[in-house]
């Protein structure tokens, strides 16, 4: 574990020299601990080369985004929705949502990220919380059709909206947690809740990004009133 943490920290420093990883507890989250960038990470002014690296290969995995914090809180309050299920977390980053689903009794959890460092971070953080995830780099690599798909803070990239048309998503219960998207016009999705949240460590984001919208696809009896 120590060696893995050192390697992750080294990868982080290749983008942002002087940054460190700290083990942080995520509030309201089933006692999840994550290795995240230190609270006083260097913010600037950054030299041009560092700036380029931060822009070209942002270490998103070294933050637990406000949407991920909100996802973990919602999952904690709705564990019955996850027990015995197969889950796919797309854009796992630190692994926050996938780990929360696993701790809530999911049977099989796929954590998918396009970034190799995020996959390493998810693997490390899952171990830190005594859980094992199936880590993949492409959603087409799932070996079992998921019952529930999670996306937290992944739609910041407009091109990811096309993910919502993927058959895996179209045929499962999908939950989207997003602080940047207030209205989602994708067919079959509706907004059903909001949560106030904050990225860890705190990035001092504008107030509008502290409100996380939660969208769901309407395929589950779980959400239907009695
Ligand atoms: C802002 S981070 C959010 C991480 C985590 N879900 C959270 O809420 O803290 C977005 C993550 O999604 C990953 N990502 C972006 N597009 C993706 C895609 N099409 N498929 C899988 N992962 C993707 C990025 O590499 C990054 O790790």
Read off the pLDDT of residues 86-120 as tens digits, 9 standing for 90 and up: 999 999 999 999 999 999 999 999 999 999 999 99
Measured over the CA atoms of residue 141, residue 95, residue 190 and residue 202, the dihedral's sign is negative
CA distances from 86 to 143, 145, 173 (A): 10, 7, 11
Q: Are 194 and 214 in contact (CB under 8 A)?
A: yes
Collapse the DSSP code of 133 into the 3-class scheme (helix H, G, I; strand E, B; otherwise coil) and give the result.
Answer: coil
Structural domain contains residue 92 = yes
Collapse the DSSP code of 142 into the 3-class scheme (helix H, G, I; strand E, B; otherwise coil) and give the result.
Answer: coil
**Least confident segment among 6-15, 36-45, 144-153, 167-176:** 36-45
Structural domain contains residue 30 = no
Q: Which domain, by its residues, includes 148?
A: 62-223
**Least confident segment among 19-23, 178-182, 183-187, 190-194:** 183-187
Residue having the nearest C-alpha atom to atom 5 of ligand 1: 93
Ligand 1 centroid from CA 133, angstroms: 16
User: Does position 71 have pLDDT exceeding 90, yes or no?
Assistant: yes
User: Does position 223 have pLDDT exceeding 80, yes or no?
Assistant: no
Q: Are 149 and 88 in contact (CB under 8 A)?
A: yes
How many CB atoms are located within 10 Å of the residue 202 CB? 10
- Residue of 8, 36, 91, 175 best suited for mutating to test ligand 1, as the one with most atoms within 8 Å of CB: 91
For tokens 């016009």, name the residue.
185
Separation between Cα atoms, residue 168 and residue 186, nearest integer Å: 15
Structural domain contains residue 79 = yes
pLDDT tier at 49 (50, 70, 90 boundaries)? Answer: confident
Structural domain contains residue 24 = no
Structural domain contains residue 93 = yes
Distance of CA 130 to the CA centre of its chain: 18
Mean pLDDT, the chain, whole residue set? 91
Q: Are 222 and 77 in contact (CB under 8 A)?
A: no
User: Between vectors from CA 121 to CA 117 and to CA 124, what angle results, nearest 5°?
Assistant: 140
User: Does position 45 have pLDDT exceeding 80, yes or no?
Assistant: no
Q: What is the CATH number for 158?
A: 3.40.50.150
Ligand 1 centroid from CA 222, angstroms: 26
User: Does position 42 have pLDDT exceeding 90, yes or no?
Assistant: no
Structural domain contains residue 40 = no
Collapse the DSSP code of 151 into the 3-class scheme (helix H, G, I; strand E, B; otherwise coil) and give the result.
Answer: strand
- Listed in sequence order, the residues at least 6 apart from 68 whose beta carbon sits closer than 8 Å to its beta carbon are 93, 94, 96, 97, 152, 153, 177
Percentage of the chain with pLDDT > 90?
71
Structural domain contains residue 204 = yes
The H or E element containing residue 189 is strand 189-196
Residue having the nearest C-alpha atom to atom 23 of ligand 1: 91
Separation between Cα atoms, residue 143 and residue 85, nearest integer Å: 14
Separation between Cα atoms, residue 172 and residue 81, nearest integer Å: 13
Structural domain contains residue 52 = no
* Backbone dihedral angles phi then psi of residue 47, each to the nearest 5 degrees: -70, 165
List residues near ligand 1 (CB under 6 A).
Answer: 60-61, 64-65, 67-68, 90-94, 96-97, 112-115, 118, 152-154, 157, 160
Q: How many domains does the chain have?
A: 1
Predicted TM-score of the model (pTM): 0.94
Q: What is the predicted pLDDT for the residue at 215?
A: 94
């Amino acid at each position: 574990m120590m060696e893995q943490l050192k390697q992750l920290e080294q990868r982080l420093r290749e983008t942002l020299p002087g940054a460190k990883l700290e083990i942080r507890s995520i509030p309201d989250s089933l006692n999840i601990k994550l290795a995240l960038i230190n609270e006083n990470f260097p913010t600037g002014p950054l030299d041009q080369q560092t700036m380029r690296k931060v822009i070209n290969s942002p270490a998103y995995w070294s933050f637990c985004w406000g949407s991920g914090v909100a996802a973990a809180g919602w999952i904690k309050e709705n564990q019955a929705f996850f027990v015995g299920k197969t889950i796919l977390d797309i854009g796992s980053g630190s692994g926050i949502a996938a780990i929360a689903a696993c701790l809530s009794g999911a049977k099989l959890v796929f954590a998918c990220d396009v970034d190799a460092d995020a996959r390493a971070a998810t693997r490390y953080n899952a171990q830190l919380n005594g859980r094992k995830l199936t880590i993949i780099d492409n959603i087409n690599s799932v070996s079992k059709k998921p019952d529930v798909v999670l996306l937290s803070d992944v739609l910041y990239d407009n091109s990811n909206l096309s993910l919502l048309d993927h058959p895996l998503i179209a045929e499962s219960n999908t939950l989207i947690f997003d602080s940047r998207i207030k209205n989602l016009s994708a067919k079959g999705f509706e907004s059903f809740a909001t949560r106030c949240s904050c990225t860890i460590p705190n990035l001092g984001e504008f107030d509008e990004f502290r409100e996380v919208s939660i969208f769901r696809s309407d395929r589950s009896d779980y959400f239907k009133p009695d």
